[in-house]
Amino acid sequence: EVVVTQSPATLSVSPGERATLSCRASQSVSNKLAWYQQKPGQAPRIIIYDASTRATGIPASFSGSGSGTEFTLTISSLQSEDFAVYYCQQYNNWPRTFGQGTKVEIK
Amino acid sequence: EVQLVESGGGLVQPGGSLRLSCAGSGFAFSRSWMTWVRQSPGKGLEWVATVKEDGSEKYYVDSVKGRFTISRDNDKNSLNLQMNSLRAEDTAVYHCARNSGAYVIWGQGTMVTISS
């Protein structure tokens, strides 16, 4: 099983600042890595797929990078609506696995 | 409007059974791989099961193998999850999702509680 580890668990950021979230896979997943955003009481929403492709309707302030085992989600300038929990997930191997999540909170 | 709507959740005793359903609309359901993902209260996301477009391939997380069965009815745009021998650790919100590699569309979920 591919273990996916996210860091940090919690990220405290001021509005307008940059946030950088990390995701590491225990073995190579090529570029088959997605990022999801989840707000309280809501279903997850896809942000990035194939490691660096923004999903439909996602603003350019979100960017993804990486391949193999190391991945990064960057939010260039945090808006109020961006404070949420972010999960990464690999879909290169069975079973599909998620990271434990990074909570981005207001500093 | 592209939409997934789950139903069938509820309170069940340990050892019991439950059948979840997911109705898809606004997209080519019969040409989409479909998935169930669950989230225990206050916890993260866990992939549960995936089925290929025509139902010919099915994949499960180890913890549900032999207890859960994923199926689909493309004529009705419906995805199902038959859950047997339920355990307390199966308590979660169950979301269905449309695959395109990643999970591009999610339903709001249905709550399953396993308790005596």
Name the residue facing B102 among A38, A42, A91 (closest C-beta): A91
Query: What does the alpha-carbon distance between residue B52 and residue B34 come to, in Å, rounded to a whole number?
Result: 7
Q: Give chain A's mean pLDDT.
A: 97
Buried b (16+ CB within 10 A) or exposed e, A74-104: ebeebeeebbbbbbbbbbbeebbbbbebbeb
Residues 57-86 of A with CB under 8 A from B: none
Å between B12 CA and nearest CA of chain A: 22
Q: Is the pLDDT of residue B100 over 90?
A: no
Name the residue facing A34 among B46, B62, B102 (closest C-beta): B102
Å between A84 CA and nearest CA of chain B: 13
For B12-62, write each residue's pLDDT tens digit: 999 999 999 999 999 999 999 999 999 999 899 999 999 999 999 999 999
- Displacement of CA A90 from its chain's centroid (Å): 11
CB within 8 Å: B47 and A95:
yes
Residue A60 burial (10 A CB sphere; 0-12, 13-18, 19+): exposed
Interchain CB contact of A23 with B (< 8 Å): no
Q: Give chain B's mean pLDDT.
A: 97
Nearest to B42 by CA among B5, B93, B79, B108: B93
* CA angle centred on A94, ends A42 and A38, rounded to 5°: 15
For A17-64, write each residue's pLDDT tens digit: 999 999 999 999 999 999 999 999 999 999 999 999 999 999 999 999
What is the rounded average pLDDT of the residues B92-102? Answer: 95
